[in-house]
Structure 1
Amino acid sequence: MTDTTGFALDPEDLRSTAVELAAAARQGQEAVRELVAGLRALAAALPASRAAPVAEALAAAWEADGARWVAGVLALGEALAATATSATDADATLARGVR
């Protein structure tokens, strides 16, 4: 465990959190896909209504925003995994007595 100015980094906790974030991103991505598909189905079912363009606009917005959120969560997970690797490397260096 690496002590970094008053707090400790536990590489295993960071790796575990990274895995959890990846799973959450996949679940979020699937939820967004389902929502977008539902909104587009609604728009297609009511083509001549005032609701159709609103549903389509919402679908497009959710699709774009969902993609950004998923990418952000995945990037955070990757950053945590990289931090875990750095902390493990630092611990190994300290264990060898190199400072």
Structure 2
Amino acid sequence: MTGINPIDRAVAAAGSQSSLARTLSCTPQNVQRMCATGHVPAKHVLKIEAATGVSRHDLRPDLYPECLPTLNVNLPSGLNVRQSIENAVHPHSTSDTV
């Protein structure tokens, strides 16, 4: 869905501007203003993401830059990395030894 404003995608996912307004506890006019300007107030970004699936980065890249790749993305393919629990600290251990 490239080319469509992220707030318009959120409205489509919510079903209507009125439906998104109810989710945000604001007026439909506020949502209409967001659609007209393309600007989403910071206080609404996370609620919109949770309700519609439109990412916070798409809605406000100035506040939520794109995430860096995770470690797994940077590992060479075929590398088998496993964490050993043998030497791990167990917070609920019943041992009194120090």
TM-score range, shorter chain: under 0.3
For CA contacts below 8 A with separation 6 or more, give which structure has more relative contact order: 1
Relative to the length of structure 2, the TM-score reads 0.22
Q: Give 1 or 2: higher strand fraction.
A: 1
Q: Give 1 or 2: higher helix fraction.
A: 1
Relative to the length of structure 1, the TM-score reads 0.22
